Amino acid sequence: MMLTYNIIAEDMREVYQYGVEILLSSLFTTSVILLIASQTDTLITGIWYLVVSVPLKATVGGYHASTYTKCFLFSTLEYLIQSLLVHMLTCLSLPSYQWCVLYVCSVLYIYTHAPVKNIHHPISERLLQKNRICAVFFLCSDTLALIILYALHKKRFAYWTIATMFMIAVFILPAQRKEMRT
């Protein structure tokens, strides 16, 4: 339709198609994560998870599934595993310093390895630099949010922030290994 009315050029068709596919896939995955969160009485933490993870994942890179279906399944499974991880670690009553060590290690790993280049979707050095700056900004923002959450005794949100950083760091590993092999 956009081609018919000369809104986009023919040579940009694939770019726009890819953008629409990513948008729809992301909206569907986000909706399912929020549905799961609402069904498990954790809607607010589900929203918090998305607020922390989406901007950072978009700039640092990491594991990329080969199809939209695999991406959906992987993302949903990641959310469920992270939810279980937070629940288990909370039940263990880990001291705050251990949570902080996990957070600091995760942030340092992300900081030193991001952004990860995706061999299937190469981007310019300029955009890589921009992503690097954005990633550092998001890491700093999330760290400030974590400090505020601890100060306000909102440990459940603090633990979700920490677990999110940990999972992002973990999923940088396969992408980084793939990058090193090429």
Q: Is residue 89 part of a domain?
A: yes
pLDDT digits (tens, 9 = 90+) for 34-45: 999 999 888 999
CA angle 135, 139, 143 (to 5 degrees): 170
Q: Is residue 3 part of a domain?
A: no
pLDDT digits (tens, 9 = 90+) for 28-69: 999 999 999 999 888 999 999 999 999 999 899 888 788 889
The residue range of the domain holding 104 is 10-181
Q: Is residue 2 part of a domain?
A: no
Q: Is residue 1 part of a domain?
A: no
Q: Is residue 41 part of a domain?
A: yes
Q: How many domains does the chain have?
A: 1
- pLDDT above 70 covers what percent of the chain? 91
**pTM of the entire structure?**
0.84
pLDDT of residue 96: 86
Q: Is residue 130 part of a domain?
A: yes
Q: Is residue 5 part of a domain?
A: no
Q: Is residue 100 part of a domain?
A: yes
